Amino acid sequence: MLRSQQRGVLPGFRLTLGYTLLYLSLIVIIPLAATFVKSSELSWAQFSQTVFSPPALAAYRLSFGASFLAAAVNAIFGFIVAWVLVRYDFFGKQFVDALVDLPFALPTAVAGITLATLYAPNGWLGGWLAPFGIKVSYTQLGIFIALTFIGLPFIVRTVQPVLADLDSELEEAAASLGANRWQAFWRVIFPMLSPALLTGFSLAFARALGEYGSVVFISSNIPMKTQIVPLLIMGELDGFHLARATALAVVMLVISFLLLLAINLLQWWSNRYNATNPA
């Protein structure tokens, strides 16, 4: 008779799995389930009226659009920052490296106020842009900038270690096979980094979706124009419409979950070559 239970070398499987489930339940699953429960107090008509109202639809578009755009821009520029930090030695490198983490540490409200002031039409940076008719503060562009600010460290910090571990022999091999630097980058380096880049992208995207503190200051928060979903939810809460607020939250949750799941699948696919079983 075969024993059904396999004994592994690493002890503590049950303990760690049990802890993981408990932790996830207390911190993530139960609070999220509560939003579903609370929103179910609404009838279907009330629910759809809340979540499909024109301001709500405009807010979804803005939230997901600006977050996606900010994460995409960060993916490009964060990649360049990581590249510079890993590949080159220059004076003040440690300083720049520390700077990258600031958006993590700074209270987002401070960031929002600072950005709003700088980019206001009479601000240091906004003053230069105003003559060209470019308004940043209190517009959708401002929201995009705030979301870019808070998302930057995610890309840099996920790409940086993978890039640092990349074997220089791979580039040398590509060169000895006749590849120029551009081909070596696109055919060898970039594909090796893309799983990390996707991880960073999904983290930055998720972070931007939930961002509230900085946007509330840099945006004018006008419904249909510059109102993101978290603001809409806060508005409902201020009016003591708790169930309606959770209904919006539920929609946010479901869409976010589906998007992140899609990114994870993409990431799994881009990392498929690390599978060790013969195909």
Partner 1 sequence: MSVEVKNVTKKFGNFTALDNVNLKVESGELVALLGPSGSGKTTLLRVVAGLEFPDAGNAQVLFYGEDVTTIPASQRKAGFAFQHYALFRHLNVFENIAFGLRVRPKLKRPGEEKIRARVGELLKLIQLEPLAKRFPSQLSGGQRQRVALARALAVEPKVLLLDEPFGALDAKVRRELRRWLRKLHDEIHITTLFVTHDQEEALEVADRVAILRDGRIEQIGTPEEIYDNPATPFVYDFLGNVNLFSGRVREGTVIIGETEFAVEETAGETDTDAVAFVRPHDIRITREANGQKTFPARILRCNAAGPLANLELERLDGGGNFAAQLSKEEFQQLQPKAGEQVFVELKNVKIFSDDFSI
Smallest distance, partner 1 to C-beta of residue 160, A: 19
Q: Which is nearer to partner 1, 5 or 276 (CB)?
A: 276
State which residue, 128 or 190, has the beta carbon closest to partner 1: 190
Helices 190-210 and 54-87, interaxial angle, to 10°? 140
**HSE-up (13 A, CA, CB side) for residue 62:** 27
At 133 the three-state DSSP class reads: coil
Per DSSP, the three-state class of 176 is helix
Between 179 and 260, CB nearer to partner 1: 179
Question: 43 or 180, CB closer to partner 1?
Answer: 180
Query: Least distance in Å: CB of 158 to partner 1?
Result: 18
Nearer to partner 1, 200 or 235 (CB): 200
Q: How far is the CB of 186 from partner 1 (least distance, A)?
A: 10
Residues at the site binding partner 1, with contacts judged by CB under 8 A: 167, 169-170, 172-180, 183, 187-188, 191-192, 273-279
CA-wise closest residue to 116 among 125, 107, 105: 125
Least CB distance to partner 1 at residue 270 (A): 8
List all residues 6 or more positions away from 229 whose beta carbon is below 8 Å from its beta carbon. 56, 59, 60, 62, 63, 209, 248, 252
CA distance 267 to 194: 8
Q: Name the residue among 109, 86, 103 with its Cα closest to residue 196.
A: 86
Nearest approach in angstroms of CB 101 to partner 1 is 30
